[in-house]
Structure 1
């Protein structure tokens, strides 16, 4: 396996491979999947993931939408990210340039974890103009206390240390990946575990994920929520061990037009655990909202 994932070999058997294409935008070669026929709908994955996290959601949404799901900069098959593209504003601008290259204007966007913060920043900066947004376990707030003081500098150090990246990639055996995924509060299927293992075993993907963590500053995202000019549906999972479920209510208090939806008994990767419900929520969030 090379530094970056290779589509011909590492991409063999990739979920929804027939929907994949490669696009040049913002100084990078993007892997993006486009599926279906109807109003454009954008899906953004979280840190360390890829298009595979929407693998079972996309076909269901494609019955009603033209679904667009990219690998974010530095993740999976979107390679050679620029340093600025790994920050929150830089990633938002890069995704906007990808949409321009694809000549699509999404009517709705859904994002998981860090992907939710990207789409909110895009909307606040008027980089796109969907009707509304749907967040799954959105990463909208900085890690507080001692953990925040420790992990952010640690990520910056690791992101600049090629030896650490190699060690991380080599340590990603199946048991380690299963343990990491369980620690999110989620129980995903064997295919999902194998796909995450494929990603975490690649040095380029690990470098992209660590670089994203190192470059992000979430301290201004609460202000983004206050300035958000359109409705935001906040989907939270009751067993999420990565982002406290209470953070969804906190985000709702900051947002002018919030909806709240609970996915009971699921963890941080709720959209992978229950893709049918996740797709139904994305298609018609108003039907599920608690308020």
Structure 2
């Protein structure tokens, strides 16, 4: 998506800028005191940094909050489509933070962003990692085989991003997609996701991420992870059930689990105050 075409009321548009760090042209929100400890916030597949719009003000009173759009999604223009998998994104985000002088003390990731946060612990010193409805599981049954294969096929098909954006880029479909996560969102939230879904580049980048996504290596390393981890899950998450986070904490030496009742996959958009009430005291004890 061209950042110049963002709606005037796009969340934190005035606090964002392009940062060119090979191989991508990143779009990065930078909020809060510049001399404060740095928190890196990573959105999930199909989203953008805007998804933290309600959480940023609760964090930026104490921390410098850095929120990039992931490569190929939102307004971050990818330097090619071969670095959209878990390992490559973690490496490129680490390079971005180091090159721009904003190395994080902690990383907060939502959904797939939580997996990237955990992977970054192998690449840069972190004092804490937080996952919100962390996507650390796999699809069951035939979906575990067919969905990645379908994503790979779609990702290499010319013009498929434009076709999917045209097919899905309507209010009814976006409402159905969001409702399917357990988080229907309000009218403003739905309109923001509609803007993303209507953008062919964003759809193509999301498909590319899905096609290249591999969790096996990360999951095998979890038992050796030394950094403290907090996993926050929602009991009504229809995309990543809370059992995924409950199971994951068992495999990490220093992991804590917290569950919020009454919300879906996008709990940080539905109830940012409740998410902050859990993570801020936990963070304060560690950084």
Shift of 1:286: 6.7
Residue correspondence of structure 1 range 189-268 to structure 2 within 5 A: 189-268=186-265
The structure 2 residue matched to 1:148, chosen from 141, 144, 149, is 144
Distance in 2 (CA, whole Å) between partners of 1:177 and 1:85 is 27
User: Number of aligned pairs?
Assistant: 282
Alignment equivalent of 2:113, drawn from 97, 112, 115? 115
Structure 2 distance, partners of 1:8, 1:149, is 39
Task: Name the CA distance, whole Å, in 1 between partners of 2:252 and 2:173.
Answer: 38
1:6 counterpart residue number: 2
Asked if the contact 2:128–2:283 (Cα under 8 Å) also holds between the matched residues in 1, the reply is no
Equivalent position SS for 1:254: coil
Cα contact 1:142–1:219 (8 A) shared by 2: no
- Kindly state the Cα deviation for residue 60 of structure 1 after the two structures are TM-superposed: 1.4
Counterpart among 13, 16, 19 of residue 20 in structure 1: 16
Cα offset for 1:221?
Answer: 2.4
Q: Give the structure 2 partner of residue 64 of structure 1.
A: 62
SS at match of 1:284: helix
Q: Distance in 2 between matches of 1:250 and 1:60?
A: 29
- Distance between the aligned counterparts of 1:284 and 1:168, measured in 2? 42
Match of residue 184 from structure 1: 181
- 5+ residue gaps, structure 1: none
Verify the 8 A CA contact 1:141 1:222 in the aligned structure 2.
Answer: no
Gaps (5+ residues) in structure 2? none
* Contact 1:141–1:219 under 8 Å retained in 2: no
Is 1:129–2:128 an aligned residue pair? no
Say what the alpha-carbon RMSD is for the aligned residues: 1.6
Match of 2:89 among 69, 88, 91: 91
Post-superposition shift, 1:48?
Answer: 0.4
- CA deviations 1:48-91 (Å, max 9, x no partner) are 00011001111111100000000000011001343332011000
1:32-47 map, 5 Å: 32-37=28-33, 38-47=36-45
- The TM-score normalised by the length of structure 2 is 0.94
- Structure 1, residues 171-205: CA drift from partner, whole Å, max 9, x if none? 21011000000000113121111110000001000
1:35/1:68 contact within 8 Å kept: yes
TM-score by length of 1: 0.93
